[in-house]
Structure 1
Amino acid sequence: MTLSLFDQFMSSILLGIPLMVLALLLPWLLLPKLCSRWLNNRFITLQSWFINNFTKQILSPMNLGGHKWALLLTSLMLFLITINMLGLLPYTFTPTTQLSVNMAFAVPIWLTTVIIGMQNQPAHALGHLLPEGTPTLLIPVLIIIETISLFIRPLALGVRLTANLTAGHLLIQLIATGIFVLISLMPTIALLMMILLFLMTLLEVAVAMIQAYVFVLLLSLYLQENV
């Protein structure tokens, strides 16, 4: 029995190999590759339909300069969805419950968008720090606030993804522990909790997909401001 509820978020080591490494490498092996046949199977067709619709939705509001990011954003979306979904399986590890991993995804891409904005249109990028028509006395305060809000964006991205996945995993483990304890004492209550656990698992599947989408969507919005 685990000593702490948070032990499930610790990366274990199997045969000298950290499960964090396996969890980060495994998603690429699960995605089917396109074949040379004229007709694909249903799974590849569904995957292609999803990727095309997601790419159109993300890139349609952007300028042509942002379309170069299509491959990166789509790959990140599929990678995060696969990792989040794999974390719901037994005896697996979810890397996106670690803030350091999420920050490693968020900070470089956010910083790249800021650098691109400073290079291509510095006046427009710096104009976000001071809204037009601001009173003279509020200019220093607003510049400080907007600068802090700019640098807190990657932290908000990482914390949002970490908190949502961590909370869902904790609730699932609490309900499962309650079922294990009550199955012999109050079978009726345990059965009701099993139904609740099933519904909670479905909710967590939806959260895993939605949070991956929100993560990439916010990165695309930051990119849209700077291209």
Structure 2
Amino acid sequence: SCPVACNLHLFLTGFPSNPTPKSNCPYFPQWTYVASYKKNWNKSLKLTVMLSFFDQFMSPVFLGIPLVALALVLPWILLPAPASRWLNNRLLALQSWFINRFTQQLLLPISLGGHKWAALLTSLMLFLISLNMLGLLPYTFTPTTQLSLNMGFAVPLWLATVIIGMRNQPTIALGHLLPEGTPTPLIPVLIIIETISLFIRPLALGVRLTANLTAGHLLIQLIATAAFVLLPLMPAVAILTGTLLFLLTLLEVAVAMIQAYVFVL
């Protein structure tokens, strides 16, 4: 890591006689460290590494293989496969109850013809929840903070619903572009507005999921950094900050599930 590398470099080469306020890290040029002397009984070098808070959203690569591929495959491996010959355990019973409840709530206002989408939408929601939950673990990468991944989910599903609606019920589908009772002078304007809103819908879905998760992760990192900085200086304030961090983590767990549900809706 950069702090260890910089400390080793300073130990081997010696402290500079005239340290600059900011110097480039010899091992990671994109990082900077601040060097300051405190003349005491012994000279000490305070090394503070200033990292970008957005580094956590960069896709990590290991041996040339993007780790996002493992993050996409791992949830499918972790989900147990039910077998009719054996009794379900607690995990399978809880999973089945959750899937049944979600399917009922999602497909209740839909006609019987739309129930064929149940397996696809339920699988997508469980997949998004798994990715969001894995992203809350320390030292992990959240794939759903990438707009490209979210747009890859949103655009095909949105396009499929639009094409199927136009093919099966073209009159009703086109009728949504013009609200009932619209004054005649406003008809061209409202048709343009409704058409634009229709095409913006997948972008809004992807941006909403990306923005909510990115903001939550940034808040967690900022508050965690503040708690560690305040711990030796003001322990009481650091404890309060840690309590706030715990509550914010619980909120992020709820946001991870709610955003997956909203995305599927």
Place the TM-score, normalised by the shorter chain, in its bin: over 0.9
Q: Secondary structure at the match of 2:215?
A: helix
What whole-Å deviation, never above 9, does each CA across 1:45-99 have from its counterpart, x for those lacking one? 0110000111111112111221111110000010000000000001111011111
- TM-score, normalising length: structure 1: 0.92
For 1:179, give the aligned amino acid. A
Residues of 2 paired with 1:2 and 1:172: CA distance? 17
Summarize deviations over 1:130-155 as a string: whole Å, max 9, x none.
12222221111011011011111111
Deviations 1:152-187 (A, max 9, x none): 111111111111111110000001111121111111
Q: How far apart, in 1, do the equivalents of 2:85 and 2:225 lie?
A: 48
Shift in Å, 1:2: 5.9
| Structure 2 runs not aligned, ≥5 long | 1-48
Paired residue for 1:220?
none
Counterpart of 1:189 in structure 2 is: 237
Identity of paired residues, percent?
80
Greater helix content? 1
Larger radius of gyration: 2
What residue ranges of structure 1 are gaps of 5+ in the alignment?
218-227
TM-score (norm 2): 0.79
The separation in 1 between residues aligned to 2:229 and 2:130, in whole angstroms, is 32
Task: Give the 3 Å change call, closer, same or farther, for CA 124–2 of structure 1 in structure 2.
Answer: farther
| Structure 1 residue aligned with 2:143 | 95
Selected match of 1:64 from 81, 87, 112: 112
Quote the Cα distance in structure 1 between the aligned partners of 2:167 and 2:103: 26
Report the counterpart of residue 32 of structure 1 in structure 2.
80
Task: Kindly state the Cα deviation for residue 16 of structure 1 after the two structures are TM-superposed.
Answer: 2.2
Question: 1:124-163 to 2 correspondence within 5 Å?
Answer: 124-163=172-211
1:222 maps to which residue?
Answer: none
CA-CA distance at 1:38 after TM superposition: 4.2
| Letter paired with 1:62 | I
Match of 1:179 in 2: 227
Tell me by how many angstroms 1:35 deviates. 2.8
Q: Distance in 2 between matches of 1:171 and 1:72?
A: 33
Bigger relative contact order, structure 1 or 2 (CA pairs below 8 A, ≥6 apart)? 1
Task: Provide the rounded CA distance (Å) in 2 between the counterparts of 1:133 and 1:42.
Answer: 54
Q: Deviations over 1:188-217 (max 9, x none)?
A: 111111111111111100100011011112
Count of equivalent residues = 217
User: What RMSD, in angstroms, separates the aligned Cα atoms of the two structures?
Assistant: 1.2
